[in-house]
C-alpha cells in the first residue's frame, strides 16, 4: 500500500515537473519570438513627438521609434544625450523635420553613423518667414538671441497644419518602403488610411472655426501656430519673435493691439518662460492658457487647441 502511494505521489510530482518545464519552455520561446520580432522592426529616430505619431500611423508595429526631444524640452536649443547617440548608432532611418537643433546635429549624426538613411520630411514645403507669421510690430533690435533664433528666419512648425502633414507622411511612407520593400503594401494601406483621417481632422477643425467671430486674432508668446492659422483663416499675434522679447515701446503696442481686438487670452507653450506673457495678461486684464505645439497626441491636441483658440474670440 505504501509502495503504491509513493508511486502515485512520484508520478504526480513528475507530471508537475514536466508541466513546469513545458511552461518555462513556452516562456523562453515567446521571449525569443518577441526578441526576433523586435529585431525585424525598422529602427527609427525622429526629432519631435508629433513625428512619432505620424510614423506610427504609417509604420504600425513594423517600426520601433525613438524621439530625440523629450516632452517639455525645447527643440531650438536641444542637445542629444550620450545615451541617445549610442542608440542612434543602431537606427535605420532618421526622420528630420527642420527644427533648429537639426542644423547643428544632423551632419554629426550622418558623419558618425553613415548607414543611417536621413529623410527630410519637410522637403517640398515652402516655409514662410517667421515674421510673416508673427504679425507683430517690427523690432528695433537687429541682433537676435541665439538661444531661440530660427535659422534664416523661417517658421519650422510645419507639423501643425494637417495639409502640410500630408507631404510629410508621403516622405515617411516612401522611406519605410525603400528600407523595407517586403511591407510596401502595408505601408501604403496605412498611408491611405492616415490620409483619410487627416481629412476628417481637417473638417472637424474647420467646423470649430465656422462659428462666427468678430475678430479671429489670437495672441501667443512664441509664434508656433502660423501654419495652423494660415490653414483656418486666423491671425496669430506674437510677443516673442526670433528669440527677441519686445522692448517697452513694442510691448505697449502689443497691449494696445490686444485691447483694440478685445483679446483677453495669452497662449503660451511649456517650453518657454511665461514672464513677458504674464505682464501682457495683467495689462489686458486677461489670462494665460497653455497650448503645446509639441504634444504627442497630435490629432487630439490640434482639436483641443482649435477649441481653446476659438473660445478666446469675441463672438457676436
274-312 tens-digit pLDDT: 887 888 899 889 999 999 999 999 999 999 999 999 999
Confidence at residue 261, expressed as pLDDT on a 0 to 100 scale: 87
Instruction: State the Cα angle at 207 between 202 and 212, rounded to 5°.
Output: 135
d(CA 26, CA 46): 35
Measured in degrees and rounded to the nearest 5, phi and psi for residue 44 equal -125, 140
Confidence at residue 28, expressed as pLDDT on a 0 to 100 scale: 52
Confidence at residue 153, expressed as pLDDT on a 0 to 100 scale: 84
Q: Among 289, 287, 285, 281, which residue's Cα sits nearest to residue 305? A: 289
CATH number of 211-312: 3.40.50.1980
Confidence at residue 95, expressed as pLDDT on a 0 to 100 scale: 98
Confidence at residue 12, expressed as pLDDT on a 0 to 100 scale: 60
Confidence at residue 9, expressed as pLDDT on a 0 to 100 scale: 60
Confidence at residue 144, expressed as pLDDT on a 0 to 100 scale: 37
The helix or strand, by DSSP H or E, that contains position 262, with its residue range, turns out to be: none
Measured in degrees and rounded to the nearest 5, phi and psi for residue 287 equal -140, 165
Q: Which CATH class is domain 41-128+158-205?
A: alpha beta
Spell out, as residue ranges, where the chain has pLDDT lower than 50.
4-5, 23, 30, 32-39, 138-149, 151
d(CA 187, CA 172): 9
| E-only strand ranges, the chain | 42-46, 63-67, 93-96, 117-120, 217-220, 235-238, 265-268, 287-290
Confidence at residue 11, expressed as pLDDT on a 0 to 100 scale: 56
Confidence at residue 244, expressed as pLDDT on a 0 to 100 scale: 67
d(CA 267, CA 258): 13
d(CA 163, CA 2): 82
Confidence at residue 6, expressed as pLDDT on a 0 to 100 scale: 55
Q: Assess contact for 202 and 162: CB atoms under 8 A.
A: yes
Give the domain ranges of the chain: 1-40, 41-128+158-205, 211-312
**Phi-psi label, residue 131: left if phi above 0, alpha if psi -120 to 50, beta otherwise:** alpha
Please tell me whether the overall predicted TM-score, pTM, comes out greater than 0.75 for this model: yes
Q: How crowded is residue 308: how many other Cβ atoms within 10 Å of its Cβ?
A: 16
Domains 41-128+158-205 and 211-312 share a fold: yes
Helices (H), 82-161: 82-88, 101-112, 130-134
Confidence at residue 192, expressed as pLDDT on a 0 to 100 scale: 98
Confidence at residue 298, expressed as pLDDT on a 0 to 100 scale: 98
**What is the end-to-end Cα distance of the chain in Å, rounded?**
96
Amino acid at each position: 500500500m505504501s509502495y503504491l502511494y509513493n508511486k502515485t505521489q512520484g508520478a504526480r510530482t513528475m507530471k508537475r515537473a514536466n508541466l513546469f518545464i513545458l511552461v518555462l519552455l513556452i516562456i523562453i520561446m515567446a521571449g525569443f519570438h518577441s526578441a526576433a520580432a523586435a529585431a525585424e522592426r525598422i529602427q527609427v529616430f525622429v526629432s519631435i513627438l508629433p513625428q512619432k505619431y505620424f510614423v506610427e500611423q504609417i509604420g504600425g508595429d513594423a517600426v520601433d521609434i525613438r524621439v530625440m526631444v523629450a516632452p517639455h524640452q525645447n527643440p531650438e536649443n536641444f542637445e542629444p544625450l550620450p545615451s541617445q547617440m549610442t542608440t542612434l548608432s543602431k537606427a535605420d532611418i532618421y526622420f528630420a523635420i527642420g527644427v533648429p537643433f537639426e542644423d547643428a546635429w544632423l551632419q554629426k549624426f550622418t558623419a558618425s553613423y553613415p548607414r543611417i538613411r536621413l529623410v527630410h520630411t519637410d522637403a517640398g514645403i515652402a516655409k514662410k518667414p517667421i515674421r510673416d507669421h508673427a504679425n507683430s510690430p517690427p523690432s528695433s533690435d537687429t541682433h537676435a538671441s541665439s538661444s531661440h533664433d530660427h535659422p534664416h528666419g523661417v517658421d519650422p512648425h510645419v507639423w501643425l497644419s494637417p495639409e502640410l502633414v500630408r507631404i510629410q507622411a508621403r516622405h515617411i511612407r516612401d522611406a519605410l518602403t525603400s528600407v523595407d520593400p517586403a511591407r510596401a503594401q502595408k505601408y501604403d494601406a496605412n498611408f491611405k488610411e492616415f490620409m483619410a483621417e487627416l481629412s476628417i481632422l481637417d473638417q472637424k477643425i474647420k467646423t470649430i472655426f465656422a462659428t462666427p467671430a468678430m475678430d479671429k486674432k489670437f495672441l501667443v508668446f512664441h509664434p508656433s501656430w502660423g501654419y495652423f492659422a494660415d490653414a483656418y483663416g486666423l491671425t496669430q499675434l506674437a510677443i516673442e519673435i526670433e528669440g527677441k522679447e519686445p522692448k517697452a515701446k513694442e510691448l505697449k503696442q502689443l497691449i494696445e493691439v490686444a485691447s483694440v481686438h478685445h483679446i483677453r487670452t495669452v497662449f503660451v507653450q511649456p517650453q518657454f518662460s511665461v514672464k513677458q506673457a504674464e505682464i501682457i495678461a495683467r495689462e489686458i486684464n486677461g489670462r494665460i492658457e497653455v497650448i503645446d505645439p509639441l504634444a504627442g497626441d497630435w490629432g487630439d491636441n490640434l482639436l483641443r487647441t482649435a477649441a481653446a483658440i476659438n473660445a478666446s474670440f469675441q463672438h457676436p
